[in-house]
Structure formats: C-alpha cells, structure tokens
Amino acid sequence: MSVTSPRRSPGSGGAWGRLSIAGKQIVWAWAFLALPVAFFAIVRFYPTLEAFYLSLTDWDLLSEPRLVGFDNYRKLFADPVFWQVFRNTFAYLIFGTPIAIVLSFVIAYYLDRVTFLHGTIRALYFLPYLTTAAAMAWVWRWFYQPPPIGVINGLLGAAGISAQPFLRSVDQALPAIMLTAIWAHLGFQIIIFMAGLRAIPASYYEAARIDGLGEGAILARITIPLLKPTTVFLVVFSSIGFLRIFDQVYNMTSNDPGGPLNSTKPLVLMIYQTAFSSYQMGYAAAQTVVLFAILFSISMAQLWILRNR
Amino acid sequence: MSTHSERGAFAVYGNLRPGRIVAWTILFLGGIVMVTPLLFMFSTSLKSAGHVYDLRLIPEQPTLANYVKVLSDGRFARWFLNSTLIATLVTLSCLFFDSLVAYTLAKFTFPGRRLVFLAILSTLMIPTEMLVIPWYLMASKLGWIDTYWGIMFPGLVTAFGVFLMRQFFETVPNDFLEAARIDGLNEFAIWWKVALPLVTPALSALAIFTFLGNWTAFFWPLIVTTDPFLYTLPVGLSSFAVEQSIQWELIMTGAALATLPTLAIFLFFQRYIVRGVMLAGVKG
C-alpha cells in the first residue's frame, strides 16, 4: 500500500518491504542521482545542443531566430578578424605553454631538493595562484605603464634601458599579457610537478646511482620519462587555459578590448563581444563551436598520447 | 657525508657545495620575483596619490586613506558579501551533490550506471564558453539575470568533483558499508555517517578548488550581472578600476581587497591547501 519511499526502513512491509536487496539498491541509487542527473541534462546537455542549433541561426535576441545553415561559419572563416584572433589564441598557447612547462619543471625539480626554508620558498611560488586574475591583471597593467608610472619601465630606466611601450604596442602587448597568465598559473604547475616527482619511487634513483649514472643521466632516463603522465596532463591543462584566456586580456586592454588593433584579442573575447556587445547570438554560437572543436581535438590528442600507458 | 635518499641532498646544512648554494639562491630570488607584483600592490595601496610615482617598495608615509576611501561607499563590502555568499553556497552544493553522485557511481550496482558515468564524463569536454549563450538565454527567460541564483546555477554540480570524489570512494572498503547496513542504517545514513568521513581529505581538496574557482570567477558573473549591487568582487573590481582610470593607488587598493581574503586563508591553511591541490591535480 505504501509507495516505494526510500526513507522507509527495510522490513516495514508494503511494496518497499517486498523489494529484493538489489531492487532497493536500484531505488536508492536513482533517488540519489535524480536531481544531479536532471541538473546535467538541463544545465549541460540541453545547452550544448542549443549552442549547436544556435550556430546555424541568425538571431539578434529581438526577432525570432532564423535558420541560415552554415552561413555563420562561412562568414567567420571569411572574416580577417577571426584569423587574427585565431593566430593570437594560438600564439598564447604555442609560446605560453612551453615556457610555463619548462619553467615550472625546472623550479619544481630544484625546489623538491631544497630543505632549507622549503615551505617558505614553495609558498612564494604558490601565492600568485591564489589571486584573482581580474585583480592581478590591473596590477600588471600598472607595471607595464610608460614612465614615470610603470614599475617595469622604472627598473629598465634605472638599468639604462630605454622605455618600452608594452601594452601600447602591437608587438609587445600579447607577450606582456601572456607573461601575466604564465605568472598566475606557475605555482599550480610547480605543485603538480612536485607531486609527480614525489611519486617516483626512491629505489629507482638508488638503483641508478648504484649503476653509476650521473645526475644528468638520471634526469634524462628516469625522472623525465616517469613524469610523462604528469607532463602530458599539465601540457593539456595549460593549453586549454591559454586557449580560453579572457580575464587578463579583458582587464588589461579594457579601453580597447583585445587591442591595440586586435593584436591581443583571443577567441573567448571575440565570442564575448559578438554575443554581449553586438548581440549576434547565432554568430557567437558558431564561434563557441569552433572553440569547442579546438579544445576537443586537444583532449583527444591527450588520450592518444597516453593510450599505452 | 652523502645521504642515501634523494631528498635532503640539497640541504644547506651538511652538504654545502657552492653549486647548491647558487641553486638555492636563484630559487629564493625567483620566489621573491613571483611575489613582487603582490608586494607592489600592497605597497602602493598604502601610498597617497602624490607618492604613487615613487617606486620605492616601502611607502615613505604609509596611510590607510585609500582603504577608507575605497570602502566608504559600501560597494566593496557588498561585492565581498556577494562573492563570499556565492562561493560558499556553490561549494556546499558541490560537496554535497558531487560526493553523493560519486558515491552512488562507485558503490551501487544499478541499470544505467555506465551510461550516467559516461554522460557526466562527456560533459568535461564541453567548455563553459559554449554554454554561456544558452545559459544567458535561460537566465533571461526565467528572470535570473541579476540574481544570486543566476550567478550560481551553472556550478552547483561539477563533473570534476564527481570524478575526484569517485576515485576516493572506490578506496572505501565495502565491508564498512555492509557492517553499517547490518546495523540497520539506511543508505543515506551510510553515505553520510560512514563513507563521507573516510574521504575528508578529498572533500577538503574539492572545497578548496571549488571555492577558489568561484571566488575568482569572472566570465559568467560578468555576463549575468548588470546591476552593480549584484557584482561579484572580480567583476566589481574590474568596473571600479575602469572608473578610476589612472588613480593607480585606488585601483591597487581595490585589487588588494580582492586578493587579501584568499591570501589570508592560505597563510592559515597552507599545508591543507598545497596537499589539496596536489591531491586534486594528480587524481582529478
């Protein structure tokens, strides 16, 4: 007579009481999952499909969306600004990721062996990771100001080097912003590399030393190969981070977002402007699909590299 | 004297080789460089407008006037409240739902388990940026623009948290759960009272990541809020900084106010946070 209320204690009779143990497990499992599964369906899956659908429409939010086939993609691939943005986005990735990975590995490798003030030095490197990107972007923006305001130009001036335009230059702005992003995530990467280093059994090193291998040989033949999963994870994580860069660019170039002359504009900023400044929802959705395709290929590449682990 | 373990070989005591001292010094100076932006931010926030161009790190006449000025109109207090509330509620929701889903996937057998698992896994492939336009449309239709709920709803359950927690629940011995079942605990109570306490390190790692992620989140809050009262701290700071234009001492004060809470928490819980990041980064 009672419904299958999972809260009923077993053996209390009714439909719930007649359920087998396995049956009760199924009821409990779905009672636990119902809300989160509904959440994933409504907040993740449906919007994903909607984004694909919207990318095939022309829509300014005012009138009804109008299906236009692949027009948005055609328009996008014919747009020189998109290709500029595409180059910028990959410039962040192609320069940013190797610099971040090599730097964080070298620091982690040496930091792992330091015992004197280990915790303090680790904290110094880790602190920037805990800051808010939007806030630190403004600090860096101030650092990059022309003299007499900017700290970096102040230091350059003291060293007798001429002042640099940094964020005001089409050549220097992107590297300047990239450096801010590297700085913000370096601490995380160092910590992960250190966790990876500690996971290598000490016996491997002992065996290598007994075999007479020097430090360099141990690094090349044991440490780096055994760190491959950690390195691949960090390369993918960092690449995805650079492909999605937004906070720093938005805040460091707010008087001309993505400028000067679009030289720093990444894909996510283009998406933001297309959707929320120009209200071209269909066109913006097509741009998000392109971003998705790029990120998807990178994740697939990771799986492929790690396939025979 | 050489130690047989790799670690400790760089110890300054006992093993003083010039190369190692040089390596230590470079590492230490690198660490100082890393915190330089933070030091200058705090230093400038304590300088009066007339001293901003004086690039000395220690302010000549330190003053809290900038803080008084920035805090006086109450906006920062409001944004701080918004961010704290939002990050806390989202974190609690993730701790509850992520670990409940993870536990169910790890410890129950039921039809559809593999499908649910793969479905949640597949959402990791979908970038937030692809979802913000549909979310924005959903939020406008349902009146969620400029509400806490509108800022929070996309993050209430996370696939990352489900996977992190699942790996830890898998290590919980089934015997413990069986024993609780024989004691007459219902399944919810077994999860809550038996399984959850066994995975507290993972829970704290998830809490750290979720809180930090939501505290610093910028992209979605920027889209879903137009009312300055509903801004989160990063969005509020960004609009504040644009408004101040070249008053760098006030911008640095705002940045310091946005940065201080997480730094303060870190100084108290350094060990936990570093361990949590390692745990989540390696397992997640």
- The predicted complex's ipTM stands at 0.88
Residue A293 located in a structural domain: yes
Kindly state whether residue A281 falls inside one of the protein's structural domains: yes
Element holding A67 (H helix, E strand): strand A66-67
Compute the distance between CA of residue B88 and CA of residue A234 in angstroms, rounded to an integer: 28
Residue A149: inside a domain: yes
Amino acid at B207: A
Q: Taking the CB of residue A116, how many other CB atoms lie within 10 A of it? A: 14
pLDDT tens figures, B39-93? 999 999 998 888 777 777 888 888 888 899 889 988 999 999 999 999 999 999 9
**C-alpha span between B280 and B207 (Å, rounded):** 10
Total residue length of chain A: 309
d(CA A52, nearest CA chain B) in Å: 9
- What one-character DSSP code corresponds to residue A193? H
Contact A245/B at CB under 8 A: no
Domains of chain B: 18-67 (no CATH), 69-283 (1.10.3720.10)
Nearest Cβ partner for B218 among A133, A276, A289: A133
Q: What is the pLDDT of residue A125?
A: 94
pTM for the structure as a whole: 0.89
Domain-located, residue A7: no
Q: A282 and A189 share a domain?
A: yes
Do residue A263 and residue A194 come from a single domain?
yes
Summarize pLDDT for A5-18 with one digit per residue, the tens. 445 454 455 777 77
Sign of CA dihedral A74, A79, A85, A88: positive
CA–CA distance from A112 to each of A49, A101, A104, A192 (Å)?
46, 16, 12, 11
Are A167 and A33 part of one and the same domain? no
Q: What is the mean pLDDT of residues B243-261?
A: 90
Instruction: Please indicate if any CB of chain B lies within 8 Å of the CB of A206.
Output: yes
Tell me the CA end-to-end span of chain B in Å, nearest whole number: 40
B51: DSSP letter: G
Residue A240 structural domain: 72-305
Is A221 a domain residue?
yes
- A88 lies in the same domain as A65: no
Q: How confident is the model at residue B4 (pLDDT cuts 50, 70, 90)?
A: very low
Asked, for residue A160, whether it belongs to a domain, the answer is yes
Q: Which of A70, A89, A113 represents a domain boundary (last residue)? A: A70
Last residue of a domain, one of A70, A89, A106: A70
Block residue for tokens 């016996």: A203
Q: Do A56 and A87 lie in a common domain?
A: no
Please report, rounded to a whole number, the percentage of residues in chain B having pLDDT higher than 70.
Answer: 93
A9 lies in some domain:
no
Q: Within this chain, do residues A187 and A200 fall inside the same structural domain, yes or no?
A: yes
> Are A51 and A79 within one domain?
no
Say whether both A219 and A138 belong to one domain: yes
Q: Which whole number is the average pLDDT over B101-125? A: 92
Shortest CB distance from A116 goes to which of B5, B12, B34? B12
What is the gyration radius of the CA atoms in chain A, in angstroms? 26
Yes or no, beta carbons of B234 and A196 under 8 Å apart? no
Interface contact A47-B4, CB threshold 8 A: no
Count of structural domains within chain A: 2
- Asked if residue A12 belongs to a domain, the reply is no
Report how far residue A19's alpha carbon sits from residue A23's, in angstroms, rounded to the nearest whole number.
5
Alpha-carbon distance of A206 to A215, in angstroms, equals 12
